[in-house]
Structure 1
Amino acid sequence: MNTPFKPPMTDGVSPSCVHLPSLTAQPAFATHCTTILDFLIQKFPQISSEVWINRILAQKVYQDSGELVNMHSAYVPNSKIYYYRELAHEEHIPFEAQILFQNDHLLVVDKPHFLPVTPTGRFVQQSLLVRLKQQLNCEDITPIHRLDRETAGVMLFSLQPQTRHFYQTLFQDRKVTKQYQAIAAFRDDLIFPVDYQSHMVKGQPFFTMQEIEGPANSFTRIELLDVTHDLGQSLARYQLYPLSGKQHQLRVHMAALGIPILNDPFYPTVQLKADNDYSAPLQLLAQRIGFIDPITQQPVEYASQQNLIL
């Protein structure tokens, strides 16, 4: 049995795959696409034709047969092509992650603020995943859960495709204990601990979340650790326990309580900053994570070496 072709990882970047649909399923391609280059230009209008031409000339686009795509390669319905994501210019992010634990199956990393976990938008080489693939020379590294670019702390990766689902299932079944720490405003009218819940959905802008009426699908326990009063401002350190895993859950819940996390650029209102503005990191830290390891069946706990200073 032949192994399906897939181009190798290059400089820590695994190839992206795109399917060429049948012409009956998407007849628009039948009119406008006779070559793979035609398809790529139409499929990705946000990427200039010059970029695709340069990638093809640089031999960075492959057919699933293993052949390189050239300027005249014919469009083949129901086939696949592979290409490497790259950016003309990418700002270096001057913060490094620390490896906390590694065995044959699991990699635990202490992620800094500002570093995205996976390649997305403006970041490819400057993502934690690509950096780790380069450092460990391992293409099979895959994140097991999410952590925002703005958030620092403990992040788990799978190293083995054969055992990845065991760890992913822990998160799906809520068998993972997660503890976060945050610094935010203090309200003396709130009685802690607070058990907060709401119904969260995608918001506007598209990269935010919002709360709407409906059955709760996000749950957080919030504990007050200590309070400081300085120059007329009251800030507090909180311990946060997300009992569900919605995107931006802790940030949304804290803002909804009137105590938004310090330096949050999205909640309660979006305040976009330059990518290279590192002056005010979000004061949210994924501090600790624990579970029964599905391979060893032993309880494990991993803790960040970072701290938030109140």
Structure 2
Amino acid sequence: MLNQGWVYRDRVKPSQAGLSVLDFYGQFYRHSTRQEWAERFENQQIFVDGKPATATQRLAKNQRLEYHRPPWEEPDVPLNFQILHQDLHFWIIDKPAGLPVLPAGNFLENTLLAQLKRQFPDETPVPIHRLGRGTSGLMILGRSPLGRQSLTRQLREHQITKIYRAVIPAGDYPDQITITTPIGKICHPSLGTIFAATADGLSAHSEMRVLERLAKVSRVEVQIFTGRPHQIRIHMAAMGFPLVGDRLYLPGGLPAIYKDANHSPLPGDCGYSLNAYYLKFQHPHQDKPIDFFSQLQASCLDF
């Protein structure tokens, strides 16, 4: 079944003024080739200030760009999620691995946000934070203005305790380890940029604890004290032991990049074993600590 299509909007920055429209899309949206972008001009899918654009048209500062993507068939994903807690101010849900939280790439309607809007159209709860598509487990949804404001503040000020469970390869690492490898953006041939371990990145802090050592893998628990994108995936890889099933991040914390971009792994790929297992924070209205445990971790980490 096709979705309804989507309009991607941009505004030209001063540094981008003078570029042709084709150069703009070719440079900043490298998920498509220049030939594919050129075909979209022929199909009148690209607009500048509301008018069909030509490929050679030069851009000026603050002009409005639109790419009208026609309807497409989205990949199948698990659309069911479990609601663990509901009150006037927030919800807690257990998200299955494979379900994207927000629209991106090939996902528009097969996302958690779209499902929430569809099931609760009159008062849609809003995700306070994200989980990667391949990550299962607990998410906080803000419902009331007070709930959204309080929980967003707690998240920003690192007052929410977040503990994950994961599976990594067996190794001689200690039972407990602190990882503070900085995380930032690096260049990527098809995505433009991607988050990875990099010396000039932002500070990041994770604490790993081994729960069980098996012959080939270890079950571990990771508490994160910062919320960098893909933090646990990058930190486990930086330690030398990427999450089992993670094709993207290599030992050292850099992404795998192949000569054939069509076969290079992407951040949204699934297959790794990571579960947002535990959350603790202050109730927005009652001002008391409250905590939750994921019900999905047993099957997610079954090895």
1:151-207 deviations in Å (ceiling 9; x for gaps) = 11111222234642221111110000001000111112x222101112111124256
Q: Does residue 285 of structure 1 match 2:275?
A: yes
2:213 to 227, 232, 246: 227
2:246 to 264, 283, 300: 264
TM-score (structure 2 length as normaliser): 0.71
Q: Does residue 242 of structure 1 match 2:224?
A: yes
Q: Secondary structure at the match of 1:155?
A: strand
Q: Secondary structure at the match of 1:252?
A: helix
Q: Secondary structure at the match of 2:181?
A: strand
1:309 maps to which residue? 302
- Contact 1:86 1:124 (8 Å CA) reproduced: no
> d(CA) in 1 for partners of 2:264 and 2:198?
27
Q: May I ask how many residue pairs the two structures share in their alignment? A: 266
2:97 maps to which residue? 113
- Contact 2:185 2:201 (8 Å CA) reproduced: no
1:179 to 163, 169, 172: 163
1:1-310 aligned within 5 A: 46=37, 48=40, 50=43, 52=45, 87-138=71-122, 140-161=124-145, 163-188=147-172, 190-205=173-188, 206=192, 208-213=194-199, 217-229=203-215, 234-268=216-250, 269-270=255-256, 272=263, 281-306=271-296, 307=298, 308-310=301-303
- Contact 2:165 2:221 (8 Å CA) reproduced: yes
Rg (Cα) greater in structure: 1
Percent of aligned pairs with the same amino acid = 25
1:120-158 deviations in Å (ceiling 9; x for gaps) = 111001111101110111464322112111111111222
> d(CA) in 2 for partners of 1:92 and 1:292?
36
**Residues 70/244 of structure 1: CA separation in 2 closer, same or farther (3 Å cut):** closer
Q: Secondary structure at the match of 2:218?
A: strand
The offset of 1:217, in angstroms, is 0.6
Q: Secondary structure at the match of 1:180?
A: strand
Partner AA of 1:221 in structure 2:
E
The gaps in structure 2 that reach 5 residues or longer are 22-27, 30-35, 53-60, 258-262
- Contact 1:19 1:78 (8 Å CA) reproduced: no
- Contact 2:142 2:148 (8 Å CA) reproduced: yes
- Contact 1:198 1:218 (8 Å CA) reproduced: yes
Q: Cα RMSD (Å) of the superposition?
A: 4.2
> d(CA) in 2 for partners of 1:142 and 1:300?
19
1:93-125 deviations in Å (ceiling 9; x for gaps) = 145221112222212211111111000111001
The offset of 1:16, in angstroms, is 6.9
> d(CA) in 2 for partners of 1:237 and 1:180?
11
The offset of 1:254, in angstroms, is 0.7
Partner AA of 1:193 in structure 2:
Q
- Contact 1:290 1:301 (8 Å CA) reproduced: yes
- Contact 1:208 1:266 (8 Å CA) reproduced: no
Partner AA of 1:96 in structure 2:
N
1:39-90 deviations in Å (ceiling 9; x for gaps) = xxxx99959354759xx9xxxxxx9xxxxx899xxxxx99999999763221
Partner AA of 1:225 in structure 2:
L
> d(CA) in 1 for partners of 2:238 and 2:226?
17
